[in-house]
Structure 1
Amino acid sequence: MYDLIIIGAGTAGISAYKEAVKHTQNLLIINDGPWDTTCARVGCMPSKVLISAANRMHGIQHAEETALNFEGTIDTSKVMAHVRQLRDRFTAATLRDVNQWPDEHKISGKASFIDSSTVEVNGSQYQAKAFILAVGSTPAINAEWQQTLGRRLITSDQIFELETLPESLAVIGSGVIAIELAQAMHRLGVKTAVFARSRRVGTLSSPHLQNLAQQVLSAELDIKFEILPESIKNTAAGAEISFIENGQQQKITADYVLAATGRRSNLESLNLQKICSDFQDLKKLPIHSDTKQLADLPIFITGDAFTAAPVQHEAAHEGKQAAINCLNFKNPAKNKKLTPLGIVFCSPEMASAGQSFQQLTKNKIDFITGFASFEKQGRAIVLGQNQGGAEVYIDRKTHQLLGAEMFCPAAEHMAHLLCWMIQQNATLEDILNQAYYHPTLEEGLRTAFKHARRQLR
């Protein structure tokens, strides 16, 4: 019997293994599919390579914003090969690490539970005192569309395998993955249409910033708000999509349809009902929010398999803590909470740190909002990127920074600063007493904090 079995070798599983192996060599990690993480293979990294190429091309084509003239065409024929080349570089680094693990610690295959202490893999059974379930998630997909469209229906798992950029693309969804990939494809010259169930784009919960994002992004992208396809069929010319827009029946044809409507947990592959019949409904699993422990069993669920924050650093953090708790499952420690940090790599970028506007409002916390527009922000004008705005949320009584949301250039960097400020329980006075170099985008944050201070006074 093993001390620990880890199922899944994504970011959370790898992190769990690296921690667990410090304490015991009597362990096993089981993985179904590639051993190179979703992030490196089909997620964070290849998408950023694509976005980088797209933004570079967009910058060249809009050089007039910095008084430069560009005339000519840009060859995009090598973009997808470049994406895969760098993707393979990142995955190779992960695989080199995994390949150094002892062979007796690794099994490739699909695991399923026989009972609470036994799993079956490739026809053999393995027992353990504790388990970590880090099986990740899979893009949600419409089965009917998949049957109808075949290879023309793709997800973020397949898009980076395209040999060349398509001529046209229809994106279903308006969340993080949808907006990032749709804008990148559009900027690379792909005729792109986005079908959005609602009027929401990305992750912003602030009504003001959400409206701002809708205006800015829809000025560049063809976003069909509150419109979903009525029917889709496969034709010789491509995927034909029928929908109603402005009361009129419309049709468009696209080379591919990108399904970007979220992801579903891979826990269903584990047959958890064999452990307990109550575990049939994955949405009702009794998972302790503080420890990620399943009921009172020596089983912990980490990473994208069950999370409200499907981001890489959270998965790594949870995996490490789960390994520690598995070896002391009768008295598991609460996971140390990281200050929430989220980023959408569209342009302008979206980012959030700490508690969102929606969370603060829902919890009836008395806070004030400091706002700064980046349309007239000095450095943003210099860069030709003067769009969007930022909000900071200040506790009215304690003056502590509670959270922030941004839709502005370089939000990915400023969100880290804000996240660290929140982690240190910084007050408005503390923050405004720090250095702000001129001219920088960070001065825009200072403007938001000053706006908050005026309201407090």
Structure 2
Amino acid sequence: MERIKTDICVIGAGSAGLSVAAGAVQMGARVVLIEGHEMGGDCLNYGCVPSKALLAAGHKAHATGQGAFGTAGHDPAPDFAAAKDHVRAVIDHIAPVDSQERFEGLGVHVIRETARFVSETEVEAGAHRITARRFVIATGSRPFVPPIPGLQDVPHHTNETIFDLRDRPGHLLIIGGGPIGMEMAQAHRRLGCRVTVLEGVKALGRDDPEAAALVLDRLRGEGIEIVEGAQVAAVSGTEGAIRVETGDGASFEGTHLLVAVGRQPNVDTLNLKAAHVGYDRKGVTVDRGMRTTNRRVYAIGDVAGGLQFTHVAGYHAGQIIRPMLFGLPMKVRTDHVPWVTFTDPELAQVGLTEAEARKAHGDKLFVARAGFDHNDRAIATGQDRGFAKVMVVKGRPVGATIVGPQAGELIQVWALAIANGLKMSAVAGMISPYPTLGEINKRAAGAYFSPKLFESPLVKRIVRLVQRLP
């Protein structure tokens, strides 16, 4: 067995692990990177990248079929296999950035094996035993497949297999009405599939209900059947003839089944007990510095539980570089983390929702709103449904919700403001080019100041007084 000594051993070559490895090696640390599966992890191969590529194909087909602005739409007859070719081409285009060759070129020692701890300071991976000063667990998560009676005997897909499906489903049944389920519902519907979504509680239930309702209304308007409060009780059948039964006695039949009910951390093969690293069903136990119960070991990204987003994994990676390489203290925060559901319209959130802000701040809360129906660019492009609302406490934003065109781009202004403790005046003082969708953020900021300026008797008295001066 080959013995290797290094400064940092990173387990997992997804977004979090790759960011740590690249940053650390370029700053002079010796780095070993271990990956037992695909370089790039879930995001590149099964998650963010392929899902957005498939959504783009669906959007193109949908736009082609819609008549607007004096032009007639026509039946796009979408080629499902060609859409999947687009997905594969996008993955292949991005893959070199995450490749083994690139990281070896940076000086990282890459080992393509499954890693397991054998002690508090050692990991085995294939024929290698690695001793490191610091370890980083960045193994991510995988789809959670619930123990529904009959499911294990019925062909079904998760996000790890759905993108390999080249024959268009006649009727796609989706269990789970969260972001993954709703994105895949719209993409497949726009590519010519019939789609039924079964959600046990409330679709998009973690988002602002007012904003979620607008998204769900659009999806239903496109012909997607969304059934809420549908607790799945049993699954039966074969591919091409699948039946899903719910607890209230209803049944739904389709040709294909996608399970999208959540994620579970990848900890099974790590032998964490040997390293004295604590964990539970949510993931590896970490403190606010992402350090585990073994002070030599950090855990970041999905495997550490909490918010499971690629950008959060990247944020964790950037933060732990400080203590590992420079011995500087660090604590992660989550109040400034944005997230987006990439349906059409998009739904974006950062910080507290309105309900959360009211619970936390009560009467101190002011909700500033602006609608896309007063945004000239949105009106010109026929995308004037939606709104932005900003939760403000003592002049500073504590949360923002945007639903509408390019919400994922627009939310970044509020993510910047919350991350840096900016006041609403910073956004109100920003000059936005006209006409742009970005003006909605400035208008929302202005809505915070409008009552103070236009409804204040004191302001009116001052203005009248000034007008009397020569």
In the superposition, the TM-score normalised over structure 2's length comes to 0.86
Structure with the larger RCO, 1 or 2 (CA within 8 Å, 6+ apart): 1
Please tell me whether residue 404 in structure 1 is matched to residue 408 in structure 2.
no
How much does 1:337 deviate? Answer: 6.9
Q: What corresponds to 2:462 in structure 1?
A: none
Q: What corresponds to 1:191 in structure 2?
A: 194
C-alpha distance 297-71 of structure 1, shift in aligned 2 (>3 A):
closer
Aligned partners of 1:327, 1:146: CA distance in 2, in Å? 47
2:38 paired residue among 23, 26, 34: 34
Match of 1:71, SS state, is coil
Q: What corresponds to 1:85 in structure 2?
A: 89
Match of 1:128, SS state, is strand
Moved more, 424-433 or 75-84: 424-433
Q: What corresponds to 1:322 in structure 2?
A: 320
Aligned partners of 2:335, 2:107: CA distance in 1, in Å? 32
Please tell me whether residue 175 in structure 1 is matched to residue 175 in structure 2.
no
How much does 1:388 deviate? Answer: 2.1
1:210 paired residue among 212, 235, 247: 212
C-alpha distance 332-118 of structure 1, shift in aligned 2 (>3 A):
farther
CA deviations over 1:201-236 (Å, ceiling 9, x no partner): 16423x432333343333332110111322211236
Q: What corresponds to 2:385 in structure 1?
A: 387
Match of 2:197, SS state, is strand
Matches within 5 A, 1:261-272: 261-272=261-272
Q: What corresponds to 1:232 in structure 2?
A: 235
Q: What corresponds to 2:137 in structure 1?
A: 133
In the superposition, the TM-score normalised over structure 1's length comes to 0.88
Q: What corresponds to 2:111 in structure 1?
A: 107
Aligned partners of 2:390, 2:348: CA distance in 1, in Å? 12
C-alpha distance 339-236 of structure 1, shift in aligned 2 (>3 A):
closer
Please tell me whether residue 97 in structure 1 is matched to residue 95 in structure 2.
no
Match of 1:100, SS state, is helix
Q: What corresponds to 1:353 in structure 2?
A: 350
* 8 A Cα contact 2:176 2:199, kept in partner: yes
* 8 A Cα contact 1:176 1:203, kept in partner: no
C-alpha distance 381-272 of structure 1, shift in aligned 2 (>3 A):
same
Aligned residues: 444
The 4+ residue runs of structure 1 with deviation greater than 4 A are 143-146, 282-286, 335-338
Matches within 5 A, 1:256-405: 256-276=256-276, 279=278, 281-283=280-282, 286-289=285-288, 291-295=289-293, 297-327=295-325, 332-335=329-332, 339-364=336-361, 366-375=364-373, 377-395=375-393, 397=394, 399-405=395-401
Partner AA of 2:372 in structure 1? F
How much does 1:296 deviate? Answer: 5.5
C-alpha distance 202-218 of structure 1, shift in aligned 2 (>3 A):
farther
Aligned partners of 2:10, 2:349: CA distance in 1, in Å? 32
Partner AA of 2:292 in structure 1? L
Percent identity of paired positions between Structure 1 and Structure 2: 24
Aligned partners of 2:124, 2:63: CA distance in 1, in Å? 53
Output the aligned Cα RMSD: 2.6
* 8 A Cα contact 1:299 1:326, kept in partner: no
* Residue ranges of structure 2 left out of the alignment (5+ in a row): 457-470
Aligned partners of 1:429, 1:410: CA distance in 2, in Å? 23
How much does 1:370 deviate? Answer: 1.4
Moved more, 136-145 or 400-409: 136-145
How much does 1:16 deviate? Answer: 0.9
Match of 1:387, SS state, is coil
Please tell me whether residue 155 in structure 1 is matched to residue 158 in structure 2.
yes
C-alpha distance 168-407 of structure 1, shift in aligned 2 (>3 A):
same
Partner AA of 1:190 in structure 2? C
Q: What corresponds to 1:252 in structure 2?
A: 252
Q: What corresponds to 1:68 in structure 2?
A: 71
How much does 1:442 deviate? Answer: 2.8
C-alpha distance 414-107 of structure 1, shift in aligned 2 (>3 A):
same
How much does 1:383 deviate? Answer: 1.5
